[in-house]
Copies of this chain bind each other. A is one copy, B any other.
Amino acid sequence: MRERVIINDVGPRDGLQNQPKILSSAEKILLIESLLAAQISHIELGAFVSPKAVPAMAGTDQIVAAFDKDQAEFSVLVPNQKGYDMALAAGSSTMAMVAYATQGMAQKNVHMSREQAADATIAMAAQAKQDGTTLLATIATSFECPFDGMADPGIVADATARFLDLGVDMVVIADTIGAGNPGQVRSLMNRLVRENSADKLACHFHDTRALGMANVYAALESGVRRFDASIGGLGGCPFAPGASGNIATEDTVMMLEQMGFDTGIDLDALMRASDLAVELTGTAPGGRAKAWLKPHLAKQHLNKNDNLK
């Protein structure tokens, strides 16, 4: 019996939000359908943010409306109460709110202090309980901030415990700019798992400095069993133009499956989803393991066919 690890594909949100090309709602729906075809059970569909500020996320209500809730755990990012209300009205039942480990990123993203953003998350948790919705809280820049430098692990630990105590359903520890190293990840996630419960924690990594898979492995060693990843490695880093984006779903799934974990994901269909992500956005190549994975899977098929003779 293999142990399950959950992959939450954030490509349609964090990935597309950081791509130069803006997809139509129809294209986004195609991409999400390809993720569902690969048996991905958790998908972040989009964000209820100002379409002026983030044009790539316009039309998220159409995306939410296009899918049945029983197909997967669909979440949407909401930056504030207004976003939450829009998401609720659109029929979303899992909202992802963003809190911050550092003042600089909180000010830059939502013009609030870190403490104000944390209070807004807690208020939203109370609201979510009333509405019967699920609230995920992402703690951005949990390792390093492009404005303030290194994050304080104590602040992340306090926020995590407080959020979980006050009704947040899951805390996502985010290395927003891909600056964390596996030593840091191991140290912080060991502490958070010890002080809380591993099944209330997830990690969100970027591959900006090529450390994405090392950080996933470090968090796995600490007991984390849920990860955000992005199909085709869609995304990027506004602070390092040209650098890699979110960790690629295909790289992550391949590593996990090779390590003996069960992701429930169909790798063949995932390759097709990755091809589609690359085709739709014009970015290439999607995911670094793909150059190996695609011919390998094709060869497996050949062998299967041979056996049928």
The chain A residues found within 8 Å of chain B, CB to CB, are 178, 181-184, 207-211, 213-214, 216-218, 221, 237, 240-244, 248, 251, 254-255, 258-260, 287-289, 291-293, 295-296
Q: Is the CB of A240 within 8 A of B208?
A: no
Task: Count this chain's copies in the assembly.
Answer: 2
Q: Is the CB of B181 within 8 A of A291?
A: no
Q: A210 touches which one: B208, B287, B295 (CB < 8 A)? A: B287
Q: A255 touches which one: B214, B237, B287, B288 (CB < 8 A)? A: B214
Q: A209 touches which one: B182, B210, B218, B254 (CB < 8 A)? A: B254
Q: Is the CB of A259 within 8 A of B217?
A: no
B residues near A260, Cβ cutoff 8 Å: 183
Task: Determine the residue in chain B with the shortest Cβ distance to A256.
Answer: B181
Contacts known (A240-B296, A251-B210, A255-B214); A288 close to B291, Cβ less than 8 A: no
Contacts known (A181-B259, A182-B255, A214-B217); A240 close to B292, Cβ less than 8 A: yes
A240–B259 Cα gap in the complex (Å)? 20
A211–B295 Cα gap in the complex (Å)? 18
Q: Is the CB of A289 within 8 A of B182?
A: no
Q: Is the CB of B207 within 8 A of A288?
A: yes
B residues near A292, Cβ cutoff 8 Å: 178, 208-209, 237, 240, 243
Cβ distance A179 to chain B, nearest Cβ, rounded Å: 8
A246–B213 Cα gap in the complex (Å)? 16
A301–B216 Cα gap in the complex (Å)? 32
Cβ distance A261 to chain B, nearest Cβ, rounded Å: 9
A216–B181 Cα gap in the complex (Å)? 12
Cβ distance A124 to chain B, nearest Cβ, rounded Å: 33
A289–B116 Cα gap in the complex (Å)? 34
A237–B288 Cα gap in the complex (Å)? 14
A181–B241 Cα gap in the complex (Å)? 29
Q: A213 touches which one: B211, B242, B248, B293 (CB < 8 A)? A: B211
